[in-house]
A = this chain, B = another copy of it.
Amino acid sequence: MRLHPSSLHGSLKDPVLGSIGFLNEVMSRFPEAISFAPGAPHPDTLEDVDVQRYVEGFLDHLVREGRTPEQARRLLLEYGPSRGIVNGIVSDALRRDHGIDAAPGALVITVGAQEAMLLVLRALFRPAQGVLAVANPCFVGIIGAARLLDIDVTPVHESAHGIDLDGLEETCRTAREKGRPLRALYVAPDFSNPGGARMSLHCRRRLLDLANREDFLVVEDNAYGFTATTGSELPSLKALDTRQRVVHIGTFAKVAFPGARVGYVIADQQVTSSSGTKLLADEVAALKSMVTVNTSPLCQAVIGGMLLEHGGSLVELSRRKSEIYQRNLTCLVDALDRYVGDALRPDIRWNRPQGGFFVRVHLPVPADSALLQISAGKYGVLWTPMEQFYLDKAGDHQLRLSCSYLDVKDIEEGVRRLAAFFADEIVSPHRGRTM
């Protein structure tokens, strides 16, 4: 049987769904190239991961809590509650480390942050009602999840200081006038992927006030907050949220390791009907029972044990990782300064985020897949075209550099190659583009 693409769901035509496949394909064709494309973890962060020890630590914890060893063991092998089995440990850590006061029952443990996004969007959006605003540029995962659910997405400009709040207010007004009010805003206030933006404390408070005034929810993605330098941390939107306006999504992919596929969502909003009051987390868990049933209890045990081994502290768990990523980011920006530097400015510009995995570079020409092929084939260096992160054409001349999984010497060498590529192919176009 042959199927025509037009008979399949429309999301499959969206470039965001093919973006990961495209990059993997390019990377596999140029295995010797230094790749600034993937936001994968640094190998050093995986060095001391000991899955077996974490599982045993979690089993001991269950026994201390009153289960028999056999009951504890079975808990990891059987089905389990859709909401999760490490909610208490995560709830404690969020309270202690981040001042987020969320009861275990307000949390749902998910298959990474991605499932949390899909579930939250599904809970909050009805067909052809309400609009999702997203930062522009934006993480592809939220756009993809919205496309999958046929949810309308509207972009709001994001600068280095985060989402444009005046623009957002204007978006609210327009949406209301069109009879499709803003239902939620997706935002990563700390070192967004790919923008690298960070919202000030003042802007965070202004955003929460606006959400309350305009009656929308804020879906906060906290994937990169842990990369803030010690002393520079800002409270998350959820920590500032006194009116349950914020749904907070976190992941263990970066602070622990991605292969566990464990994330979480705090959804402490009350859902009130004539038959009583539930939490939005209850609804998210009910939806989850029809998406993945429950997050692997084995994987939850690995993460739970890992967290317990670090005194139940997310900050302790992520401290060394945070230092590695800070080092890499500093190294990347320094190398750009040295190798690209003033010689190629102002044609080539880049931002200087204070955390996260990513630097954006502006080119005077489109940073498209044709240019990527030249960069990969002739100069041995890979990057991500920024266009896939934009809902409009604003990012066509930008590329994203990820420094998370490279070693310092590879970053150095990669930027040297990039500089040659920029000089030969872009700033001195008289030397000719070969494609």
Q: Which residues of A are at the interface with B, using a C-beta cutoff of 8 A?
A: 1-5, 7-12, 16-18, 20-21, 24, 38, 40-41, 43, 46, 49, 51-52, 55, 73-74, 76-82, 111-112, 114-115, 118, 122-127, 141, 144-145, 147-150, 217, 243-245, 253, 257-261, 269-273, 280, 282-283, 285-287, 289-299, 302
Cβ contact of A271, chosen from B8, B43, B76, cutoff 8 A: B8
17 contacts between A and B (CB under 8 A): A2-B272, A3-B269, A3-B271, A9-B287, A20-B82, A21-B282, A21-B286, A24-B81, A40-B79, A46-B74, A46-B77, A112-B293, A259-B297, A261-B295, A291-B291, A292-B292, A298-B299
Cβ contact of A51, chosen from B55, B118, B261, cutoff 8 A: B55
B259:A292 contact, CB within 8 angstroms: no
| A123 with B271, Cβ < 8 A, contacts A74-B43, A79-B258, A259-B80 known | no
Which chain B residue lies CB-closest to A8? B123
A78:B9 contact, CB within 8 angstroms: no
A261 CA to B283 CA, complexed, in Å: 21
A272 CA to B6 CA, complexed, in Å: 10
Cβ contact of A49, chosen from B77, B114, B149, cutoff 8 A: B77
Which chain B residue lies CB-closest to A217? B1
Note all chain B residues with C-beta closer than 8 A to A20: 82, 289
| A123 with B9, Cβ < 8 A, contacts A82-B20, A258-B77 known | yes
B78:A269 contact, CB within 8 angstroms: no
| A290 with B3, Cβ < 8 A, contacts A8-B283, A9-B123, A295-B261 known | no
Note all chain B residues with C-beta closer than 8 A to A126: 7-10
Note all chain B residues with C-beta closer than 8 A to A127: 10, 127, 150
Note all chain B residues with C-beta closer than 8 A to A290: 11, 16-17, 114, 118, 141, 144-145, 147-148
B148:A287 contact, CB within 8 angstroms: yes
B111:A111 contact, CB within 8 angstroms: yes
Which chain B residue lies CB-closest to A253? B79
Cβ contact of A298, chosen from B82, B272, B294, B302, cutoff 8 A: B302
